[in-house]
Amino acid sequence: MRFIICEDYEGMSKAAADILAAEVLLKPNCILGLATGSTPIGMYQEIAEKKLDLSHVTTFNLDEYYPIKSSNEESYHYFMQENFFSKVNVKKENIHMLDGEAEDPQQECDDYERLINKHGRIDLQVLGIGHNGHIGFNEPNSFFRAQTHISNLTQRTIEANSRFFERIEDMPTKSLTMGVGSIMNSKTIVLLASGKEKAAVIKELQKNKVDPQIPATILTVHRDVIVIVDKEAASLL
């Protein structure tokens, strides 16, 4: 695990966009794993400004709330369209996201898992991190879930993410998420964190101790992880 400490959010976003751009230049038909949350927004902006040709790229998003309509402004479908897909030339048929409106959520997870495997390994997986160490919506637990699954959001996640919803009751309490299997199977992983409220969980990554109660710690046994943080998120390292 390598740490890149940047001056600020902008520096973190630029560094992440540069890595992603390099991946696309070296492998135009690469498979990208994409994340949501406030942290990668700057990276998406930077990539859009680079005017890269993403027409051969395939994307898989990590997660989606459940249930949620894709027209809901807080859905990850809406987020991705707004912050990224509307600004770049990824082909619609190459974009893959878990469906928050699926009638049978378990079937949706199984189909998504199969689809990722059919495409092979993700070349570059972008991750944010929750305050509780979640990656995607792999929440703290006594064990890791390898496969795409339905996840019950923890109270801490509901409180943290409800800031985007008008009322806390509007926030779904479940999600569909890629499991740690596909994440760990990715060739390269770039994890982004910004702000002092992420400093404690970033510190946990430095301990090299895998603990399912802090899901991101599994990344410490992956051979190619780059953690890009701003000074505040790095303040306890």
Where does this chain bind ligand GLP (CB under 6 A)? Answer: 35-39, 62-63, 128-130, 136-137, 157, 161
Least distance in angstroms from the C-beta of 39 to ligand GLP: 3
Alpha-carbon distance 137 to 132, whole Å?
11
97: Cβ contacts below 8 Å, ≥ 6 apart:
60, 61, 64, 76, 77, 80
Nearer to ligand GLP, 9 or 54 (CB): 9
Considering the complex, what minimum distance in angstroms separates the CB of residue 197 from ligand GLP? 8
Least distance CB 126 / ligand GLP (angstroms)? 9
Residues 6+ apart with CB under 8 A from 10: 42
How far apart are CB 56 and ligand GLP at their closest, in Å? 25
112 closest CA partner among 100, 123, 124: 100
In the complex, the smallest distance separating the C-beta of residue 49 from ligand GLP, rounded to whole angstroms, is 20
What CA–CA distances, in Å, run from 96 to 67, 93, 148, 166? 17, 8, 13, 27
Amino acid at 166: E
- Which strands form 149-152's sheet, in the order they lie side by side? 63-66, 174-177, 149-152
Cβ-based nearer residue to ligand GLP, 23 or 64: 64
Q: Which is nearer to ligand GLP, 50 or 156 (CB)?
A: 156
Q: What contacts 144, CB < 8 A, 6 or more positions away?
A: 138, 179, 180, 212, 215, 218
**Residues labelled catalytic:** 63, 132, 134, 139
Q: Which strands sit side by side in the sheet containing 225-230, from one edge to the other? A: 2-6, 225-230, 188-193, 124-127, 31-34, 58-61, 95-96
Nearer to ligand GLP by Cβ, of 63 and 123: the residue is 63
Instruction: Output 41 or 146, the one with its CB closest to ligand GLP.
Output: 41
